[in-house]
Amino acid sequence: MATNKKLKLMKTEFSLLAPQAKSVLIAGSFNQWNLSAHPLKQDKKGVWKISLPLGPGRYEYRFLVDGQWQNDPNCSSFIENPFGTLNCLRIVE
């Protein structure tokens, strides 16, 4: 008996407190590091947020805040990237 299992996408939220920022983008393995794919929206408290539908897996990502790369201060797992710095690691189960 064949089971046709659909890939389950989970709404995965990313957020960054940066009240002074003019723009915050997220790039990562989930969007081929495309900077124009996922701009974040700022709320009234200065928190930039985005919710992405991601399937189970490991995703590397970083924020681009006003043109400067920045790691997620809420992230506890990191992985070295080819540029000698660290990428954040999000695991979706």
Mean pLDDT on 74-78 = 96
- Residue partners of 61: CB distance under 8 A and separation at least 6: 14, 26, 27, 28, 29, 30, 72, 87, 88, 90
- CATH number of 49's domain: 2.60.40.10
Q: Does residue 4 lie within any of the structural domains?
A: no
Q: What is the pTM of this model?
A: 0.89
Asked if 61 and 90 touch (Cβ cutoff 8 Å), the reply is yes
Q: Does residue 50 lie within any of the structural domains?
A: yes
Q: Does residue 5 lie within any of the structural domains?
A: no
Domain tally, the chain: 1
Q: Does residue 82 lie within any of the structural domains?
A: yes
- Domain of 83 in residue numbering reads as 10-92
Q: Is 37 exposed, middle or buried (0-12, 13-18, 19+ CB in 10 A)?
A: middle
What are 11-33's pLDDT values in tens digits? 999 999 999 999 999 999 999 99
